[in-house]
Structure 1
Amino acid sequence: MKKIIKSILTISVLFFTAQQLSAQKVVVGREVETTDDGKMLLGNQLKAKFLEAPYSDWYVKEHDEYALDQKAISELKKDKINSYSITVFMGTWCEDSHRDFPRLMKILEEVKYPESKLTIIAVNRKKESPTGDEVRYNIQKVPTIILERYGKEVGRIIEMPTTGYIERDLVEILKKDDQSVIKEIFNK
Protein backbone atom coordinates (compact mmCIF):
# COMPACT_ATOMS: atom_id res chain seq x y z
CA MET A 1 0.00 0.00 0.00
CA LYS A 2 2.84 2.40 0.86
CA LYS A 3 4.42 1.72 -2.55
CA ILE A 4 1.19 2.60 -4.34
CA ILE A 5 0.75 5.85 -2.41
CA LYS A 6 4.40 6.72 -2.99
CA SER A 7 4.00 6.05 -6.72
CA ILE A 8 0.84 8.17 -6.94
CA LEU A 9 2.55 11.02 -5.09
CA THR A 10 5.61 10.83 -7.35
CA ILE A 11 3.48 10.84 -10.50
CA SER A 12 1.43 13.76 -9.16
CA VAL A 13 4.54 15.79 -8.36
CA LEU A 14 5.98 15.09 -11.83
CA PHE A 15 2.67 16.03 -13.47
CA PHE A 16 2.39 19.36 -11.61
CA THR A 17 6.07 20.16 -12.24
CA ALA A 18 5.56 19.56 -15.97
CA GLN A 19 2.50 21.82 -15.93
CA GLN A 20 4.43 24.59 -14.18
CA LEU A 21 7.29 24.38 -16.68
CA SER A 22 4.96 24.50 -19.67
CA ALA A 23 3.10 27.47 -18.15
CA GLN A 24 6.38 29.42 -17.89
CA LYS A 25 7.12 29.44 -21.62
CA VAL A 26 7.94 32.93 -22.85
CA VAL A 27 6.26 34.13 -26.02
CA VAL A 28 8.83 35.67 -28.38
CA GLY A 29 8.03 38.11 -31.18
CA ARG A 30 4.66 39.32 -29.89
CA GLU A 31 3.20 42.15 -31.92
CA VAL A 32 0.11 44.15 -31.00
CA GLU A 33 -2.01 46.67 -32.88
CA THR A 34 -2.71 49.92 -31.03
CA THR A 35 -5.02 52.81 -31.85
CA ASP A 36 -2.42 55.54 -31.26
CA ASP A 37 0.82 53.87 -32.33
CA GLY A 38 -0.26 51.27 -34.89
CA LYS A 39 1.84 48.10 -34.77
CA MET A 40 3.99 47.73 -31.69
CA LEU A 41 6.27 44.97 -30.44
CA LEU A 42 5.61 43.81 -26.89
CA GLY A 43 7.63 41.45 -24.70
CA ASN A 44 10.65 39.32 -25.60
CA GLN A 45 11.97 39.88 -29.12
CA LEU A 46 14.64 38.61 -31.47
CA LYS A 47 16.83 40.98 -33.46
CA ALA A 48 15.39 39.64 -36.74
CA LYS A 49 11.96 41.13 -35.90
CA PHE A 50 13.39 44.65 -36.31
CA LEU A 51 14.28 43.89 -39.94
CA GLU A 52 10.56 43.56 -40.72
CA ALA A 53 8.20 46.42 -41.58
CA PRO A 54 7.28 48.79 -40.01
CA TYR A 55 10.26 48.60 -37.60
CA SER A 56 12.83 48.28 -40.36
CA ASP A 57 11.96 51.84 -41.49
CA TRP A 58 13.84 53.33 -38.53
CA TYR A 59 16.01 50.37 -37.51
CA VAL A 60 17.95 49.81 -40.75
CA LYS A 61 18.60 53.52 -41.41
CA GLU A 62 20.00 54.20 -37.92
CA HIS A 63 21.94 50.91 -37.85
CA ASP A 64 23.60 51.48 -41.21
CA GLU A 65 24.39 55.19 -40.76
CA TYR A 66 25.91 54.93 -37.28
CA ALA A 67 29.69 55.41 -37.24
CA LEU A 68 31.26 53.23 -34.55
CA ASP A 69 33.96 54.51 -32.20
CA GLN A 70 36.61 51.94 -33.16
CA LYS A 71 38.79 52.68 -30.12
CA ALA A 72 35.85 51.89 -27.81
CA ILE A 73 35.04 48.78 -29.87
CA SER A 74 38.62 47.54 -29.37
CA GLU A 75 38.29 48.16 -25.62
CA LEU A 76 35.02 46.22 -25.50
CA LYS A 77 36.68 43.25 -27.21
CA LYS A 78 39.71 43.47 -24.91
CA ASP A 79 37.52 43.77 -21.80
CA LYS A 80 35.54 40.72 -22.92
CA ILE A 81 32.04 42.20 -23.11
CA ASN A 82 30.99 38.73 -24.35
CA SER A 83 31.35 37.43 -20.79
CA TYR A 84 28.45 39.66 -19.69
CA SER A 85 24.70 39.19 -20.19
CA ILE A 86 22.84 42.15 -21.67
CA THR A 87 19.15 42.95 -21.22
CA VAL A 88 17.65 45.79 -23.24
CA PHE A 89 14.28 47.36 -22.52
CA MET A 90 13.02 49.43 -25.45
CA GLY A 91 9.86 50.72 -27.04
CA THR A 92 9.09 50.55 -30.74
CA TRP A 93 7.08 53.77 -30.18
CA CYS A 94 10.04 55.61 -28.56
CA GLU A 95 12.33 57.98 -30.50
CA ASP A 96 15.27 57.38 -28.13
CA SER A 97 14.88 53.63 -28.73
CA HIS A 98 14.71 54.28 -32.50
CA ARG A 99 18.12 55.98 -32.22
CA ASP A 100 19.99 53.92 -29.64
CA PHE A 101 18.66 50.37 -30.05
CA PRO A 102 19.95 49.98 -33.67
CA ARG A 103 23.25 51.52 -32.60
CA LEU A 104 23.58 49.00 -29.77
CA MET A 105 22.86 46.16 -32.19
CA LYS A 106 25.57 47.40 -34.56
CA ILE A 107 28.05 47.58 -31.66
CA LEU A 108 27.18 44.04 -30.55
CA GLU A 109 27.53 42.75 -34.12
CA GLU A 110 30.96 44.38 -34.38
CA VAL A 111 32.23 42.72 -31.17
CA LYS A 112 30.58 39.41 -32.23
CA TYR A 113 28.41 39.37 -29.12
CA PRO A 114 26.47 36.08 -28.86
CA GLU A 115 22.74 36.63 -29.45
CA SER A 116 22.04 33.89 -26.90
CA LYS A 117 23.31 36.22 -24.13
CA LEU A 118 21.12 39.13 -25.27
CA THR A 119 17.57 39.67 -24.01
CA ILE A 120 15.45 42.26 -25.83
CA ILE A 121 12.22 43.27 -24.11
CA ALA A 122 9.82 45.66 -25.84
CA VAL A 123 7.50 47.61 -23.55
CA ASN A 124 4.35 49.66 -24.08
CA ARG A 125 4.04 53.39 -23.34
CA LYS A 126 3.45 52.59 -19.65
CA LYS A 127 6.82 50.73 -19.69
CA GLU A 128 5.06 47.37 -19.17
CA SER A 129 5.78 43.98 -20.71
CA PRO A 130 3.76 40.73 -20.59
CA THR A 131 6.33 39.03 -18.32
CA GLY A 132 6.61 41.88 -15.81
CA ASP A 133 10.43 41.93 -16.05
CA GLU A 134 10.35 45.74 -16.01
CA VAL A 135 9.33 45.58 -12.33
CA ARG A 136 12.24 43.32 -11.37
CA TYR A 137 14.68 45.66 -13.16
CA ASN A 138 12.92 48.87 -11.99
CA ILE A 139 12.56 50.28 -15.51
CA GLN A 140 11.52 53.95 -15.56
CA LYS A 141 12.77 55.06 -19.00
CA VAL A 142 13.59 53.45 -22.32
CA PRO A 143 15.84 52.43 -23.76
CA THR A 144 17.58 50.91 -20.73
CA ILE A 145 20.61 48.69 -21.36
CA ILE A 146 21.60 46.49 -18.42
CA LEU A 147 24.87 44.57 -18.11
CA GLU A 148 25.02 41.61 -15.73
CA ARG A 149 27.77 39.21 -14.78
CA TYR A 150 27.18 36.03 -12.77
CA GLY A 151 23.56 37.12 -12.31
CA LYS A 152 24.52 40.45 -10.72
CA GLU A 153 23.94 43.83 -12.35
CA VAL A 154 27.20 45.69 -12.96
CA GLY A 155 25.81 48.77 -14.70
CA ARG A 156 23.16 50.27 -16.94
CA ILE A 157 22.65 52.95 -19.55
CA ILE A 158 19.33 54.74 -19.10
CA GLU A 159 17.59 56.57 -21.95
CA MET A 160 20.76 57.93 -23.58
CA PRO A 161 24.50 57.38 -23.10
CA THR A 162 26.19 59.95 -20.82
CA THR A 163 29.26 60.11 -23.11
CA GLY A 164 27.12 60.45 -26.23
CA TYR A 165 28.26 57.00 -27.42
CA ILE A 166 26.83 53.71 -26.22
CA GLU A 167 30.12 51.91 -26.82
CA ARG A 168 32.02 54.42 -24.65
CA ASP A 169 29.45 54.06 -21.83
CA LEU A 170 29.78 50.26 -22.08
CA VAL A 171 33.58 50.59 -21.76
CA GLU A 172 33.10 52.73 -18.63
CA ILE A 173 30.78 50.12 -17.10
CA LEU A 174 33.29 47.33 -17.80
CA LYS A 175 36.17 49.38 -16.33
CA LYS A 176 34.16 50.05 -13.14
CA ASP A 177 33.32 46.35 -12.89
CA ASP A 178 37.01 45.46 -13.27
CA GLN A 179 37.88 47.89 -10.46
CA SER A 180 35.24 46.39 -8.16
CA VAL A 181 36.62 42.88 -8.80
CA ILE A 182 40.16 44.08 -7.98
CA LYS A 183 38.93 45.76 -4.78
CA GLU A 184 37.05 42.59 -3.82
CA ILE A 185 40.20 40.47 -4.24
CA PHE A 186 42.46 42.79 -2.25
CA ASN A 187 39.97 43.60 0.51
CA LYS A 188 39.72 39.96 1.57
Structure 2
Amino acid sequence: MKKIITNVVTISCVVLATQQFSAQKVVVNREVESTKDGKMLLGPQTKEQFTKAPYADWYVKEHDEYAVDQKAISELKKDKLGSYNITAFIGTWCEDSHRDFPRLMKVLEAAKYPEGKITVIAVNRKKESPSGEEGLYNIQKVPTIIVERYGKEIGRIIEMPSTGYIERDLVEILNKDDQSVIKEIFKK
Protein backbone atom coordinates (compact mmCIF):
# COMPACT_ATOMS: atom_id res chain seq x y z
CA MET A 1 0.00 0.00 0.00
CA LYS A 2 2.82 2.37 0.92
CA LYS A 3 4.49 1.65 -2.43
CA ILE A 4 1.28 2.43 -4.36
CA ILE A 5 0.85 5.76 -2.56
CA THR A 6 4.50 6.62 -3.21
CA ASN A 7 4.08 5.80 -6.92
CA VAL A 8 0.87 7.88 -7.19
CA VAL A 9 2.54 10.86 -5.49
CA THR A 10 5.64 10.53 -7.71
CA ILE A 11 3.57 10.34 -10.91
CA SER A 12 1.44 13.31 -9.81
CA CYS A 13 4.56 15.38 -9.16
CA VAL A 14 5.98 14.52 -12.58
CA VAL A 15 2.69 15.43 -14.31
CA LEU A 16 2.45 18.77 -12.46
CA ALA A 17 6.07 19.61 -13.22
CA THR A 18 5.53 18.82 -16.89
CA GLN A 19 2.46 21.08 -16.98
CA GLN A 20 4.43 23.92 -15.41
CA PHE A 21 7.21 23.65 -17.98
CA SER A 22 4.83 23.43 -20.93
CA ALA A 23 2.60 26.32 -19.81
CA GLN A 24 2.76 29.12 -22.35
CA LYS A 25 4.07 32.40 -21.02
CA VAL A 26 1.96 35.42 -21.95
CA VAL A 27 4.00 38.53 -22.67
CA VAL A 28 2.23 41.72 -21.56
CA ASN A 29 3.08 45.23 -22.83
CA ARG A 30 5.11 43.95 -25.79
CA GLU A 31 6.53 46.79 -27.85
CA VAL A 32 8.10 46.39 -31.28
CA GLU A 33 9.70 48.79 -33.73
CA SER A 34 8.88 48.89 -37.43
CA THR A 35 10.44 50.99 -40.16
CA LYS A 36 7.03 52.20 -41.38
CA ASP A 37 5.24 52.84 -38.07
CA GLY A 38 8.03 53.28 -35.53
CA LYS A 39 7.19 51.97 -32.06
CA MET A 40 4.06 49.86 -31.88
CA LEU A 41 2.41 47.78 -29.17
CA LEU A 42 1.44 44.15 -29.84
CA GLY A 43 -0.60 41.69 -27.79
CA PRO A 44 -2.08 42.15 -24.30
CA GLN A 45 -1.53 45.61 -22.82
CA THR A 46 -2.10 47.41 -19.53
CA LYS A 47 -3.56 50.90 -19.26
CA GLU A 48 -0.28 52.24 -17.88
CA GLN A 49 1.51 51.43 -21.15
CA PHE A 50 -0.50 54.15 -22.91
CA THR A 51 0.69 56.84 -20.51
CA LYS A 52 4.28 56.34 -21.71
CA ALA A 53 5.91 57.88 -24.79
CA PRO A 54 5.16 57.79 -27.67
CA TYR A 55 1.59 56.61 -26.95
CA ALA A 56 0.94 59.27 -24.32
CA ASP A 57 1.06 61.92 -27.08
CA TRP A 58 -2.35 60.85 -28.34
CA TYR A 59 -3.74 58.87 -25.39
CA VAL A 60 -3.49 61.49 -22.62
CA LYS A 61 -4.76 64.37 -24.79
CA GLU A 62 -7.83 62.49 -26.07
CA HIS A 63 -8.56 60.95 -22.64
CA ASP A 64 -8.36 64.24 -20.78
CA GLU A 65 -10.29 66.33 -23.33
CA TYR A 66 -13.20 63.93 -23.80
CA ALA A 67 -16.41 65.01 -22.05
CA VAL A 68 -18.42 61.94 -21.11
CA ASP A 69 -22.20 61.83 -21.36
CA GLN A 70 -23.15 61.70 -17.66
CA LYS A 71 -26.66 60.43 -18.39
CA ALA A 72 -25.22 57.47 -20.29
CA ILE A 73 -22.70 56.86 -17.47
CA SER A 74 -25.60 56.71 -14.98
CA GLU A 75 -27.32 54.16 -17.22
CA LEU A 76 -24.16 52.06 -17.44
CA LYS A 77 -23.85 52.03 -13.65
CA LYS A 78 -27.54 51.17 -13.26
CA ASP A 79 -27.26 48.37 -15.83
CA LYS A 80 -24.26 46.95 -13.94
CA LEU A 81 -21.63 47.34 -16.67
CA GLY A 82 -19.17 45.80 -14.21
CA SER A 83 -20.88 42.41 -14.61
CA TYR A 84 -19.76 42.29 -18.25
CA ASN A 85 -16.32 41.59 -19.69
CA ILE A 86 -14.89 43.97 -22.26
CA THR A 87 -12.19 43.17 -24.80
CA ALA A 88 -10.76 46.00 -26.91
CA PHE A 89 -8.67 45.34 -30.01
CA ILE A 90 -6.70 48.43 -31.00
CA GLY A 91 -3.84 49.49 -33.22
CA THR A 92 -1.35 52.02 -31.84
CA TRP A 93 -0.79 53.03 -35.48
CA CYS A 94 -4.54 53.63 -36.09
CA GLU A 95 -6.15 57.09 -35.90
CA ASP A 96 -9.56 55.66 -34.97
CA SER A 97 -7.91 53.81 -32.07
CA HIS A 98 -6.12 57.04 -31.08
CA ARG A 99 -9.52 58.70 -30.80
CA ASP A 100 -11.78 56.00 -29.37
CA PHE A 101 -9.58 53.90 -27.11
CA PRO A 102 -8.74 56.79 -24.71
CA ARG A 103 -12.43 57.72 -24.74
CA LEU A 104 -13.40 54.14 -23.88
CA MET A 105 -10.99 54.16 -20.95
CA LYS A 106 -12.40 57.46 -19.67
CA VAL A 107 -15.95 56.11 -19.96
CA LEU A 108 -15.00 52.97 -18.04
CA GLU A 109 -13.30 55.05 -15.34
CA ALA A 110 -16.39 57.27 -15.02
CA ALA A 111 -18.62 54.18 -14.79
CA LYS A 112 -16.31 52.70 -12.10
CA TYR A 113 -15.71 49.64 -14.28
CA PRO A 114 -13.25 47.20 -12.62
CA GLU A 115 -9.90 47.79 -14.33
CA GLY A 116 -9.02 44.10 -14.17
CA LYS A 117 -12.06 43.14 -16.29
CA ILE A 118 -10.98 44.86 -19.50
CA THR A 119 -8.65 43.07 -21.88
CA VAL A 120 -6.72 45.27 -24.29
CA ILE A 121 -5.10 43.57 -27.29
CA ALA A 122 -2.90 45.62 -29.63
CA VAL A 123 -2.61 44.38 -33.21
CA ASN A 124 -0.40 45.19 -36.19
CA ARG A 125 -1.59 46.62 -39.52
CA LYS A 126 -2.68 43.15 -40.63
CA LYS A 127 -4.90 43.04 -37.50
CA GLU A 128 -2.75 40.29 -35.98
CA SER A 129 -1.49 39.80 -32.43
CA PRO A 130 1.36 37.49 -31.36
CA SER A 131 -0.98 34.94 -29.72
CA GLY A 132 -3.73 35.07 -32.36
CA GLU A 133 -6.55 36.35 -30.13
CA GLU A 134 -7.96 38.32 -33.08
CA GLY A 135 -8.85 35.03 -34.80
CA LEU A 136 -11.14 34.00 -31.94
CA TYR A 137 -13.12 37.22 -32.38
CA ASN A 138 -12.91 37.61 -36.19
CA ILE A 139 -11.34 41.08 -35.97
CA GLN A 140 -11.47 42.92 -39.30
CA LYS A 141 -11.16 46.56 -38.18
CA VAL A 142 -9.81 48.46 -35.20
CA PRO A 143 -10.75 49.58 -32.76
CA THR A 144 -13.21 46.78 -32.02
CA ILE A 145 -14.75 46.79 -28.56
CA ILE A 146 -16.47 43.55 -27.58
CA VAL A 147 -18.90 43.20 -24.66
CA GLU A 148 -19.40 39.69 -23.25
CA ARG A 149 -21.37 38.13 -20.44
CA TYR A 150 -20.98 34.57 -19.22
CA GLY A 151 -18.60 33.90 -22.11
CA LYS A 152 -21.17 34.97 -24.73
CA GLU A 153 -20.75 38.02 -26.93
CA ILE A 154 -23.54 40.53 -26.33
CA GLY A 155 -22.42 43.20 -28.79
CA ARG A 156 -19.51 45.06 -30.31
CA ILE A 157 -18.50 48.52 -31.43
CA ILE A 158 -16.50 48.37 -34.65
CA GLU A 159 -14.22 51.21 -35.77
CA MET A 160 -16.39 54.00 -34.36
CA PRO A 161 -19.54 54.19 -32.24
CA SER A 162 -22.77 54.33 -34.26
CA THR A 163 -24.22 56.99 -31.93
CA GLY A 164 -21.00 59.01 -31.98
CA TYR A 165 -20.46 58.23 -28.27
CA ILE A 166 -18.94 55.04 -26.90
CA GLU A 167 -20.94 55.28 -23.69
CA ARG A 168 -24.25 55.55 -25.59
CA ASP A 169 -23.33 52.55 -27.75
CA LEU A 170 -22.51 50.60 -24.58
CA VAL A 171 -25.92 51.52 -23.12
CA GLU A 172 -27.58 50.23 -26.31
CA ILE A 173 -25.64 46.97 -26.08
CA LEU A 174 -26.63 46.45 -22.43
CA ASN A 175 -30.26 47.32 -23.20
CA LYS A 176 -30.27 44.78 -26.02
CA ASP A 177 -28.92 42.18 -23.58
CA ASP A 178 -31.65 42.97 -21.03
CA GLN A 179 -34.35 42.65 -23.69
CA SER A 180 -32.99 39.31 -24.89
CA VAL A 181 -33.14 37.98 -21.30
CA ILE A 182 -36.76 39.16 -20.97
CA LYS A 183 -37.67 37.57 -24.33
CA GLU A 184 -36.03 34.32 -23.21
CA ILE A 185 -38.07 34.30 -19.97
CA PHE A 186 -41.40 34.87 -21.75
CA LYS A 187 -40.61 32.37 -24.48
CA LYS A 188 -40.97 29.48 -22.02
**1:56 equivalent in alignment to 2:56:** yes
* Matches for 1:149-168 after TM superposition, within 5 Å: 149-168=149-168
The superposition leaves residues 27-63 of structure 1 with CA deviations (integer Å, 9 ceiling, x where unpaired) of 1111001100000011100001100010000111111
Q: Which runs of 4+ in 1 moved over 6 A?
A: none
Once the two structures are overlaid, the 10-residue window that deviates more, 1-10 or 156-165, is 1-10
SS class of match (2:141): coil
Task: Report the Cα offset of residue 70 of structure 1.
Answer: 1.3
How far apart in 2 are the matches of 1:135 and 1:14? 30
How far apart in 1 are the matches of 2:170 and 2:5? 58
Which residue number in structure 1 is paired with residue 109 of structure 2? 109
**1:12 equivalent in alignment to 2:25:** no
Task: Report the Cα offset of residue 96 of structure 1.
Answer: 0.3
Identity, % of aligned positions: 74
How far apart in 1 are the matches of 2:73 and 2:107? 7
The superposition leaves residues 78-99 of structure 1 with CA deviations (integer Å, 9 ceiling, x where unpaired) of 1111110100000000000000
**Paired residue type of 1:28:** V
Question: CA RMSD of the aligned region, Å?
Answer: 1.3
SS class of match (1:156): strand
How far apart in 1 are the matches of 2:4 and 2:77? 60
Which residue number in structure 2 is paired with residue 39 of structure 1? 39
**Paired residue type of 1:9:** I
The superposition leaves residues 117-136 of structure 1 with CA deviations (integer Å, 9 ceiling, x where unpaired) of 01000000010111110000
How far apart in 2 are the matches of 1:72 and 1:156? 17
* Matches for 1:26-105 after TM superposition, within 5 Å: 26-105=26-105
TM-score, reference length from structure 2: 0.94
Which residue number in structure 1 is paired with residue 148 of structure 2? 148
How far apart in 2 are the matches of 1:77 and 1:86? 15
TM-score, reference length from structure 1: 0.94
How far apart in 1 are the matches of 2:45 and 2:8? 43
